[in-house]
Amino acid sequence: MNIQEEWNLKGKKYAEEINQMVEFGEKNGWENWKGKEPEDKREHLADKVISLLKKANLENTVEDFRLKFPPANTPIIKFIEKQSQSIQQLHFIDNQKIVFFRGTSYQENQAYLLDDDKVLELDSDIKAIGKSKIGNVFAIAVKDRISLFKNWNGNFIKEFILSYTADFAITELIPFNDGSKVLLVSSDGIYLISDADEKLIHPTNEDNEEDWEPGIAMENGTLSNDNKFIVAGDQSYDHTIMDSNGTKVGTIGPQSSYPHFCLFSKDDEQLITNSCHFYNGTTIGVDGKNLNGIEIEVYSDSDDYVVIDEDMRVYSGVATSDYYILGDAYGYIKAFDKKGNTIWRHYLGSTINGMAISDDEKTLWVGSYSGMLHKLHLGKGHRDDHTIGNGDNYEDFRLLIWKDEPQIWKW
């Protein structure tokens, strides 16, 4: 058996076994699964396959290589463990174009523009990029300032000169739709940046403790699409609901251990919040019309929320017109409706850390801690019989953006 035959036979078998196991677990309960954990027995092929992949890139024969060797994470885990880096802060521009970062905010990072499959390195001084929920306002943070533009490379709107927050490592930037303010999320606290000031809105020293500092972990925040509400949370503080000026109007306590993620539905009719415990978590949905004055207690049953999911530690997500797409610690992206029904799942192989979706909701880009950026066409159907998942999603390509490599490899 040659390497191509072995890669394909074993890859197909592994995907089939994983899909069967997951389907059984979801239908019958994981406690009733008595079978063995499927094994991907292709690790010994990794060196040769990666070598052939790089050769195909250099010779511009990637499409032929992809046909012969459908991609997989498990066999190349030794490369991922050594050379991976986070792919995050993904934002859709137009057509088949996005911006993204490789590397975390607290490490050396670099911004890129991806136009279809062509990658352009952006100015190395850029330390964060954000996009408004509506209206295509882009925020670009460089050194001690945040500049706002209408559309990518569009008209300049305004600039905020930073003082207190100038040296912060920025986890996420979200400009307001009208360009009047910017939500700045960092491990040094979550701030509302405006012409008036750099206002700390989460956490706050409500008990007036001496020597209190706003340092946080698992920091996360979002804006409603109409920008009427701000939501912020972290490992040590509940998700706080605020008005557009950062004034607290409600609280959502975690139903797992630690607040980890939040997102509004595309029509703002629902807010979902996720809390995690190790690699698992719980996501709940709250009626968007009931946010003023809402108080959901920690670990409590309540008619004020619906359970969306009870498995995922959510790191990233997007909202479409019909459902949410959430990415978890195990490398799955899953689609859920507002009632908590699972629409589909698709496995990519490493902790999901960023997503962007096209305006027509047909193309999804997904970044992970594996150092890979995946481009998927939703609803197009499976590209090969190695696909793990039950969604009709077609992977156009994945980019291997690895440390200590001379270039970005396309697979």
**Residue 369 maps to which CATH number?**
2.130.10.10
Where the chain has pLDDT below 50, the residues are: none
User: Per the domain annotation, does 49 fall within a domain?
Assistant: no
Give me the amino acid identity at 137. V
**pTM surpassing 0.75?**
yes
Strands of the sheet containing 314-319, edge to edge, are: 314-319, 324-328, 332-336, 342-347
List the end-to-end C-alpha distance of the chain, in Å, as a whole number: 23
Structure tokens at 63: 């499409």
**Cα–chain center distance at 258:** 18
The number of helices, as runs of H, and strands, as runs of E, in the chain is: 4, 30
Alpha carbon distance 347, 319 (integer Å): 19
User: Per the domain annotation, does 19 fall within a domain?
Assistant: no
| pLDDT given at position 104 | 83
Tell me the β-bridge partners of 324. 319, 336
User: Per the domain annotation, does 16 fall within a domain?
Assistant: no
User: Per the domain annotation, does 296 fall within a domain?
Assistant: yes
User: Per the domain annotation, does 404 fall within a domain?
Assistant: yes
CA dihedral 349, 354, 359, 363 (to 10 degrees): -20
User: Per the domain annotation, does 113 fall within a domain?
Assistant: yes
Summarised one tens digit per residue, pLDDT across range 37-58 is 999 999 999 999 999 999 999 9
| pLDDT given at position 243 | 98
| pLDDT given at position 382 | 96
- Choose among 375, 407, 401: nearest CA to 115: 375
Alpha carbon distance 46, 158 (integer Å): 50
Tell me the β-bridge partners of 199. 192
User: Per the domain annotation, does 44 fall within a domain?
Assistant: no
| pLDDT given at position 106 | 76
| pLDDT given at position 107 | 75
Give the total number of structural domains in the chain: 1
User: Per the domain annotation, does 195 fall within a domain?
Assistant: yes
Reduced to 3 states (helix: H, G, I; strand: E, B; else coil), residue 11 is: helix
CB 393 within 8 A of CB 382: yes
| pLDDT given at position 206 | 86
Domain that holds residue 338: 89-410
R_g over Cα of the chain: 22
| pLDDT given at position 208 | 87
Summarised one tens digit per residue, pLDDT across range 198-237 is 999 999 998 888 889 999 999 999 999 999 999 999 999 9
